[in-house]
């Protein structure tokens, strides 16, 4: 078997667009020197290709140890780790790490290298030529929402925390690895930036379908990002490994229920996306339009405010009519104060934004920040009520099906019993 994953394993998407590969942990254990108890007791885990699996659990339960054993930053004490069908524990570890993206909190960029040089690190180690590397750097900067011309020559200190984190993600993706490991990737940024970075990761994943293993402390982040969540307790003990839906609806034990915590119906808000909800379409205006015409349109529609878009239909302002009356033409406020939510954001994120906005709603954007509409409280409550009654109807149906099945089994048992009685030899006759 060759020591590197083949080019097709590395970069060619399967028929379903999946570029990730499966990861299997088989009896993987870690005992640090001098520790009485293993940090990770024998752990068996199957991570399907193209999924995001989130590792979560209380402090010290072995999340980071488990993550770092996958790229062998920490050597397992026992067990096997299969990545894309190859035994990672037998691979050359430097080679292995070049094929696994690694993203950690704050991006951990090299301060003396430019953004472009930071992203180009692994392609450099893989001896990519200059042209290919430069193209890849620009492509990745675009992908993580940073204008290459503006950012590729900057140094990390010239970027905000969120921008540094974006570059960290770009660096993790640089050599198109099938597997990406993330350790608290969005832990060091403010809540709004964090939400944006999560949305960007989901949008990148929609395109690339990598296998992503991510450690977090934040249950809402786990519910939002995870296809599956691995909830660990001390010693890397698996309490539940399941979809976010099942973890919320059917916690395996009291530990899981306590960890998920109260308010699990509120957490259900993290399972629904803005795109699941019908958006309101208030009056819009384009920068430069005569204000009087816009006022007429808004009044006819009984709107109290209008959304101002630029020539690429990106939202610039959400202005009340009383303010618009002082303008001749619709103006661009010229700053980036406007809060928006991406259509992939969760309803939880949208509520957060709505509560900080004085329009009792949030502007929703799609690809390339293009305006899509407005989400408001009524839409969120309607959606939640519909989801709850659908879930209740599903549960009732399941119960009915189960009862029917039980009844059929009972009938069958009865018939079998009758049949046996009928065929049983007559002890008298034998005499
Ligand atoms: N290098 C080390 N030497 C000895 N013990 C260690 C070492 N690294 C971690 N441990 C111990 O192993 C256990 C698991 O640590 P690990 O960092 O994997 O947990 P974690 O779940 O990621 O914690 P946190 O959420 O606090 O980051 C802890 O008891 C920790 O003290």
Supply the pLDDT for residue 262: 66
Supply the pLDDT for residue 354: 86
* Contacts by residues 364-367 (CB-CB < 8 Å, ≥ 24 positions apart): 364/274, 364/279, 364/340, 365/314, 365/315, 365/340, 365/341, 366/342
Domain count, the chain: 3
Neighbours of 305 (CB within 10 A): 20
- Answer yes or no: do 400 and 375 share one domain: no
Block residue for tokens 């450690």: 215
Residues whose CB is less than 8 angstroms from the CB of residue 405 and which lie 6 or more positions away in sequence, other chains included: none
Ligand 1 center–CA 178 separation, angstroms: 27
- Answer yes or no: do 88 and 225 share one domain: yes
Specify whether the CB–CB gap between 284 and 330 falls below 8 A: no
- Answer yes or no: do 185 and 99 share one domain: yes
- Answer yes or no: do 332 and 387 share one domain: no
User: Lowest-confidence range among 34-48, 195-209, 296-310?
Assistant: 195-209
Q: How would residue 269 be classed by pLDDT, with cut points 50, 70 and 90?
A: confident
Supply the pLDDT for residue 2: 41
Residue 155 has pLDDT above 90, yes or no: yes
Average confidence (pLDDT) over 342-347:
88
- Answer yes or no: do 14 and 58 share one domain: yes
Give the mean pLDDT of the chain: 85
The answer to whether residue 1 is domain-embedded is no
Supply the pLDDT for residue 112: 93
Average confidence (pLDDT) over 297-319:
94
The answer to whether residue 267 is domain-embedded is no
Ligand 1 center–CA 319 separation, angstroms: 51
Residue 161 lies in domain: 7-262
Supply the pLDDT for residue 204: 81
Supply the pLDDT for residue 81: 95
Is residue 64 within 6 Å of ligand 1 at its C-beta?
Answer: yes
The answer to whether residue 215 is domain-embedded is yes
3 state DSSP class of 275: helix
From 29, 33, 34, 35, give the residue whose CB has the most ligand 1 atoms within 8 Å, as the site to mutate. Answer: 35
Retrieve residue 18's tokens. 């999946």
Supply the pLDDT for residue 137: 92
What ipTM score was computed for the predicted complex, to two decimals? 0.97
The answer to whether residue 431 is domain-embedded is no
Average confidence (pLDDT) over 143-163:
87
Ligand 1 center–CA 64 separation, angstroms: 7
Supply the pLDDT for residue 186: 84
Supply the pLDDT for residue 392: 67
- Answer yes or no: do 251 and 333 share one domain: no
Closest CA to 159 of 124, 126, 130, 118: 118
Residue 3 has pLDDT above 50, yes or no: no
Helices (H) and strands (E) in the chain, counts: 18, 16
Supply the pLDDT for residue 289: 94
- Which helix (H) or strand (E) segment is 392 a member of? helix 377-423
Average confidence (pLDDT) over 42-71:
95
Ligand 1 center–CA 62 separation, angstroms: 6
Q: How far apart are CA 414 and CA 290, in angstroms?
A: 82
The answer to whether residue 27 is domain-embedded is yes
Residue 343 has pLDDT above 80, yes or no: yes
- Answer yes or no: do 196 and 313 share one domain: no
Q: Nearest C-alpha to atom 14 of ligand 1 is from which residue?
A: 62
Closest CA to 354 of 369, 337, 339: 339
Average confidence (pLDDT) over 374-379:
91
Better-predicted residue by pLDDT, 431 or 357: 357
Supply the pLDDT for residue 9: 41
Residue 99 has pLDDT above 80, yes or no: yes
Main-chain phi, psi angles of 167, to 5 degrees: -65, -35
Supply the pLDDT for residue 22: 94
Atom of ligand 1 nearest to the CA of 184: 27
Give the residue ranges of DSSP H helices in 51-129: 63-70, 93-98, 115-119, 121-125
Retrieve residue 295's tokens. 């006022």
Atom of ligand 1 nearest to the CA of 32: 4
Question: Running DSSP on this structure, what letter comes out for residue 278?
Answer: P
Specify whether the CB–CB gap between 226 and 244 falls below 8 A: yes
- Answer yes or no: do 340 and 351 share one domain: yes
Supply the pLDDT for residue 411: 83
Supply the pLDDT for residue 430: 45
Average confidence (pLDDT) over 282-308:
95
Ligand 1 center–CA 37 separation, angstroms: 12
- Answer yes or no: do 188 and 325 share one domain: no
From 33, 55, 56, 65, give the residue whose CB has the most ligand 1 atoms within 8 Å, as the site to mutate. Answer: 65
Q: How far apart are CA 98 and CA 123, in angstroms?
A: 9
Average confidence (pLDDT) over 276-282:
92
Average confidence (pLDDT) over 372-376:
95
Per 3-state DSSP, what percentage of the chain is helix, strand, and coil (rounded to 5)?
A: 45, 20, 35
- Provide the CATH number for the domain around residue 120: 3.40.50.300
Residue 67 has pLDDT above 90, yes or no: yes
Supply the pLDDT for residue 423: 59
**Sign of the C-alpha dihedral computed for residues 25, 29, 32 and 38 taken in this order:** positive
384-430 tens-digit pLDDT: 788 767 666 766 777 788 788 888 888 887 787 777 666 555 555 44
From 29, 32, 188, give the residue whose CB has the most ligand 1 atoms within 8 Å, as the site to mutate. Answer: 32
Ligand 1 center–CA 61 separation, angstroms: 7
Main-chain phi, psi angles of 303, to 5 degrees: -95, 145
- Answer yes or no: do 173 and 79 share one domain: yes
If you count them, how many residues does the chain have?
431
- Answer yes or no: do 404 and 343 share one domain: no
- Answer yes or no: do 365 and 300 share one domain: yes
């Amino acid at each position: 078997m060759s020591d590197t994953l083949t080019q097709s394993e590395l970069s060619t998407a399967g028929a379903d667009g999946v570029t990730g590969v499966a990861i299997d942990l088989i009896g993987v254990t870690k005992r640090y020197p001098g520790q009485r108890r293993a940090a990770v007791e024998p752990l068996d885990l199957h991570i399907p290709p193209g999924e995001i699996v989130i590792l979560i659990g209380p402090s010290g339960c072995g999340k980071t140890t488990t993550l770092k054993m996958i790229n062998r930053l920490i050597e397992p004490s026992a067990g096997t780790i299969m990545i894309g069908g190859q035994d990672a524990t037998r691979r050359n570890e430097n080679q292995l790490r070049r094929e696994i993206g690694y993203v950690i909190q704050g991006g951990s960029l090299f301060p003396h290298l430019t953004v472009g040089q930071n992203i180009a690190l692994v392609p450099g180690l893989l001896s990519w030529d200059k042209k290919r590397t430069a193209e890849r750097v620009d492509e990745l900067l675009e992908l993580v929402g940073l204008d290459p011309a503006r950012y590729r020559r900057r140094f990390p200190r010239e970027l905000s925390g969120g921008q540094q984190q974006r570059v960290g993600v770009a660096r993790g993706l640089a050599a198109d690895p099938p597997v990406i490991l993330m350790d608290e990737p969005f832990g060091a940024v403010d809540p709004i930036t964090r939400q944006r970075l999560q949305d960007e990761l989901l949008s990148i994943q929609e395109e690339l379908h990598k296998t992503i293993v991510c450690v977090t402390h934040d249950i809402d982040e786990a519910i939002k990002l995870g296809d599956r969540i691995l909830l660990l307790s001390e010693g890397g003990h698996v309490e539940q490994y399941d979809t976010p839906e099942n973890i919320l609806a059917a916690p395996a034990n009291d530990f899981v229920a306590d960890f998920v915590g109260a308010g699990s119906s509120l957490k259900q808000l993290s399972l629904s996306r803005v795109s699941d909800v019908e958006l309101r379409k208030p009056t819009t205006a384009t920068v430069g339009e005569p204000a009087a015409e816009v006022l007429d349109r808004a009044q006819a529609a009984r709107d109290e405010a209008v959304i101002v878009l630029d020539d690429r239909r990106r939202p610039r302002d959400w202005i009340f009519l009383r303010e618009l009356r002082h303008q001749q033409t619709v103006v661009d406020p010229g700053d980036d104060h406007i809060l928006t939510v991406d259509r992939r954001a969760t309803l939880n994120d949208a509520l957060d934004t709505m509560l900080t906005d004085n329009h009792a709603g949030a502007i929703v954007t799609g690809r390339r920040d293009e305006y899509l509409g407005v989400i408001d409280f009524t839409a969120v409550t309607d959606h939640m009520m519909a989801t709850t009654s659908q879930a209740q109807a599903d549960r009732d149906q399941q119960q009915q099906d189960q009862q029917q099945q039980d009844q059929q089994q009972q009938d069958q048992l009865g018939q079998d019993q009758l049949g046996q009685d009928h065929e049983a030899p007559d002890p008298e006759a034998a005499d």
